Amino acid sequence: MDLLNNFFFIALPYIAIIVFVIGTVYRYRSLKFGYSSLSSQFLETRKLFWGSLLFHWGIVIIFFGHLIAFLIPQSILLWNQQPLRLFILEISAFTFGIMAFIGLINLLYRRLSSARIRVVTNYMDIILEILLLIQIFLGLWVAYGYRWGSSWFAIVISPYLKSLFTFTPKVDAVFMLPLVVQLHIITGFLIILIVPFTRLVHFLVFPLSYLWRPYQKVIWNRDRKKIRNAKEAWTVHRPENN
Amino acid sequence: MDVRSQVAMLFHLDKCIGCHTCSIACKNIWTDRKGAEYMWWNNVETKPGTGFPTKWEDQNIYKGGWKKSDDQKLSLRGSGKYKGLLNIFHNPYMPSLEDYYEPWTYKYLDLIESPKGNDQPTARPVSLITGKPIDIKSGPNWDDDLSGTPEFARRDPNLEHLSPSEKEAMFQLEKMAMFYLPRICNHCLNPACVASCPSGAIYKRGEDGVVLINQQVCRAWRMCVTACPYKKSYYNWSTGKSEKCILCYPRLEAGLAPACMHSCVGRIRYLGVLLYDADRIQEAASAPEDELIDRQLELILDPFDENVIQKAKDNGIADSTIQAAQTSPVYKFVKEWGLGLPLHAEYRTLPMLFYIPSLLPVMATLSDADNSAQSGKLDPIAKFWNKNTLYDTSTNSLWGTIEQSRFPLKYLANMFGAGNESKIKEVLKKQLAVRVHRRNVTVGDINSEFSQKALSDVGLTSKMADDIFYLTSLAKFDDRFNIPPAHREQAIEMLENTGDAKGSSGFGFKESPTRGL
């Protein structure tokens, strides 16, 4: 049992993170053409509206909620000091979870029912969507059945995750957790593990830099001014578009 | 002054016969691939008609191009930094496959391999996307030559601001008229697609102004499809990348004409270099609507001006390019003779393709006459007309025919004049003056006083008229196609960094453009 636990809570996280980092970087550098969100809105747009919007807004907010709870757990604990604020946080988080869950069911249904979308579906899409569906379901279960996660997360899980990053894994507390919570952690690392092999890489290239770049973009492939200047050695000006 | 050069095209619409050879040439070279079956980087539309994709000109639907807000600033109509990122999960203004058409083929093998039976075997149409049998609802050029039809011509967005009687007059069977509109990417000076791309994958090439999409940076956020008001950025559903007309840049770099131009049967296309002032682009793009075209044409600089030449050289523009700009047929048509107009300047993207609006047909209009005796016989649609109007095809006045042409000036103005009729009138008058002049020269049944008056009315000399005639009707290929000679050593560097391959064998492995996981 210990061996299994050690595998799931020590080995798996490290494998997942290593594969994630190496895989995404390799793919970005060498297989850049495939680095895309692979939107299928062009083929089917109505069902996508209810799937994509609900899922994305739900999952993005839940994701950042988890991130904040992991990075600065004190902030969540401080917020939760008053019961009313705890309720607000838990209920809104649960709502976003439901949103993501319904959205994902819509997306999965769309992927399987629409003939056009099936053409652009591969196995990894299905595996990913099912894993995400399981993960969100487990998350909702934890939120409903083991209240109040936003408070005990900070005491139990944040230290565990931090210990992983400092290479001193402290897993005793995690071993004691209910099975549902453990499964939620395991599935989470599984998803991180398969990111480089799925279309999920698109969240890594979310175009935030668009906000501060100028609207227009002109690329000069060759710096003619330098070429004309006799004082310069022959230039090693690198084209910007490859 | 920041002088740059742009390879620009001009279309002489009176010469277009609507044969679609350009579209086929383009298709065979660039878009005969999976995911690109439905794309027509070059297409030819019948006007009046709804075009491709359906009603692309209606920006209330597609929200393409720039609009000027109350504080006189330009913003993208349906995308941009905030709207674009907010709509990134689902873009409500993006055209879907239904707005184009579902590409298909036929099961030809069924004709040969079907078992013997009582009925003749048929080749059923099957979708090129799903491979399943489909009912064909529409296809490329579905409204070809269908002027006058309620489904297509009457839904043309350019009919806005035309009176009901004018519209009906356009569509009466005996009087109906149409012309063809070939379209490729406009390679704009203020491109909305470039501005809308969140990943920064789209760029304008400094050397020749060609607008390109870097396929390795495109991440399928699909904002360019919305932002391009001409709907010339297409989404490849298979690779998950947007694609668009590349002005055949590999051919241009090799000194060859683009495929659409080279194959043009009617010889309607002209390709040449224009020098323009990049410093004033923003200013020109945000001009008031009635000044838009003039301000855009002001951007194009005189390539014979010493100051312009010096500034161009300072900017590193090659002598061969400056020389090409001086002999550019596009410059002659657009600037010297004032015949070329941009398509839909009101989208404010400063398109660098120019059109000479169609002169024909000029005769016939609605004129005041007592029609009451016949009104009982008129069909219900014709009853829309004012009772006291009649269709009049007889006219002796030279200019009157243009002002009351069968194709309302307003319609052409909505396409080529940013709604400004005087722009269209000027161009049509010039064309007619050239015809009058040539008729005087070749047939001689028009007296030269009259022909001289026609020319001076529109500010042309007989020398200019002869030049226009030559370039319109007699021009050889090299007169119509004039871009700087190829610099192969530079062309390769526009695609590859040759330093990368130095010391290795060849150019290494390239990633094939297949869909990612």
**Rounded average pLDDT over B218-241:** 95
A133 Cβ neighbours under 8 A, 6+ residues apart: A101, A104, A105, A108
Q: What is the Cα–Cα distance from B97 to B38, expressed in whole angstroms?
A: 9
Q: Is the pLDDT of residue B382 over 50?
A: no
**pLDDT tens sequence across B459-487:** 999 999 999 999 999 999 999 999 887 66
Contact A38 B513 (CB under 8 A): no
Enumerate the residues of chain A whose CB falls inside 8 A of the CB of residue B222. Answer: 39, 41-42
**Contact yes or no for A43 and B97 at CB 8 A:** yes
Residue B387 pLDDT grade (very low, low, confident, very high; cuts 50, 70, 90) = very low
Check if B207 contacts A (Cβ < 8 Å): yes
Cross-chain residue pair A39–B129, CB shorter than 8 Å: no
pLDDT at A32: 86
Taking the Cβ of residue B504 and every Cβ of chain A, the question of whether any pair is shorter than 8 Å is answered with: no
Q: Which residue has the tokens 């996280």?
A: A13
Give the tens place of pLDDT for each residue, A29-83.
Answer: 888 888 999 999 999 999 999 999 999 999 999 999 999 888 888 888 888 888 8
Instruction: Give residue-wise pLDDT tens across range B169-179.
Output: 778 776 678 89
Of all residues in chain B, the percent with pLDDT exceeding 90 is 60
Read off the tokens for A226: 């330098």
In this complex, the residue of B130, B198, B497 whose CB is nearest that of residue A238 is B497
A194 pLDDT exceeds 80?
yes
For the ranges A157-161, B271-275, B368-372, the one whose mean pLDDT is highest: B271-275
Q: Which of these, A104, A68, A135, lies nearest to A143 by C-alpha position?
A: A135
> Helix, strand, or coil here: B29?
helix
Chain A residues close to B96, C-beta within 8 Å: 41-45
Residues in chain A within 8 Å Cβ distance of B214: 241
Residues B269/B261, Cβ–Cβ less than 8 Å:
yes
Query: Chain B interface, mutation test: which of A29, A36, A107, most B Cβ atoms within 10 Å?
Result: A36
Query: How many angstroms away from the CA of B240 is the closest CA of chain A?
Result: 5
* B contact test, residue of A31, A39, A220 with most B CBs within 10 A: A39
In whole numbers, what is the pLDDT of chain B averaged over residues?
86
In angstroms, how far is the first alpha carbon of chain A from the final one?
A: 52
> Which of B81, B89, B286 has the highest number of chain A CBs within 10 A, making it the mutation to test binding with A?
B89
Pair of tokens at residue B10: 């001009």
Nearest to A145, CA basis, from A188, A175, A181: A181
Q: How confident is the model at residue B495 (pLDDT cuts 50, 70, 90)?
A: low
CB pairs under 8 A between A and B: 170
The strand pairing partners of B106, in sequence order, are B125
A233 interaction partners in chain B (CB closer than 8 Å): none
Is B281:B190 a contact under the CB 8 Å cutoff? yes
The neighbouring-strand residues paired with B104 are B127
The pLDDT of residue B509 is above 50: yes
Find the range with the poorest average confidence among A41-50, A77-86, A93-102, B25-34: A77-86
- For residue B182 the two structure tokens come to 């070939």
Q: How confident is the model at residue A242 (pLDDT cuts 50, 70, 90)?
A: very low
Distance of CA A169 to the CA centre of its chain: 23
Whether the predicted interface score ipTM is above 0.85 = yes
Query: Residue B442 and residue A242: Cα distance in Å, rounded?
Result: 57
| Nearest residue, CB atoms, B216 vs list A32, A207, A221 | A32
Task: Give B-chain residues touching A49 at CB under 8 angstroms.
Answer: 90, 92
Residues 77-106 of B with CB under 8 A from A: 81, 84-85, 89-92, 94, 96-97
Instruction: List strand residue ranges (DSSP E) for B48-156, in order.
Output: 66-68, 74-76, 104-106, 125-127
Non-local CB neighbours of B67 within 8 Å, separated by 6+ positions: B74, B75, B76, B77, B348
More confident residue, B360 or B117: B117
Q: Which of A33, A208, A224 to mutate to test the interface with B (most CBs of B within 10 A)?
A: A33
B97:A116 CB<8 A: yes
Q: How many CA atoms lie within 13 A of A175 on its CB side?
A: 12
Tokens representing B375 are: 């009104």
- Is beta strand B3-12 parallel, antiparallel or unpaired with respect to A218-219? unpaired
> Nearest-CA neighbor of A60 among A119, A124, A136, A144?
A136
pLDDT at A136 over 80: yes
Q: Which two tokens stand for residue A131?
A: 């894993």
| Cβ–Cβ below 8 Å for A42 and B235 | yes
Any idea which residue has 């009138």 for tokens?
Answer: B425
All domains of chain B in start order, with CATH: 9-104+139-253 (3.30.70.20), 271-356 (3.30.70.20), 365-399 (no CATH)
Report the pLDDT value the prediction gives residue B388, as an integer from 0 to 100. Answer: 47
Q: Are B451 and B440 in contact (CB under 8 A)?
A: yes
> How would residue B489 be classed by pLDDT, with cut points 50, 70 and 90?
low
How close is the nearest chain B Cα to the Cα of A178, in Å? 35
Structure tokens at A11: 């080995």
Judging contacts by C-beta atoms under 8 Å, the chain A residues touching residue B91 are 41
> Comparing C-alpha atoms, which of B509, B212, B210, B225 is closest to residue A241?
B212
What 3 state SS string does A141-200 have? HHHHHCCCHHHHHHHHHHHHHHHHHCCCCCCHHHHHCCHHHHHHHHHHHHHHHHHHHCHH
Cβ within 8 Å, pair A119-B130: yes
Task: Determine contact, residues B234/B243, Cβ cutoff 8 Å.
Answer: yes
CA distances (Å), origin B133, targets A44, B127, B128, B423, B430? 18, 6, 10, 49, 53
Percent of chain A with pLDDT over 90: 59
Where in chain A are the domains?
2-207
Question: Which of B3, B66, B90 to substitute to test the interface with A, most A CBs within 10 Å?
Answer: B90
> At B47, which helix (H) or strand (E)?
strand B43-47
Note whether A210 contacts B199, CB cutoff 8 Å: yes
pLDDT at B502: 56
- A2-207 folds as Fumarate Reductase Cytochrome B subunit (1.20.950)
Residue B74: phi and psi, rounded to 5, are -85, 140
β pairing state of B43-47 and B179-183 = antiparallel
Region label for A74, one of left (φ > 0), alpha (ψ between -120 and 50) or beta (otherwise): alpha
pLDDT, residue B296, reads: 95
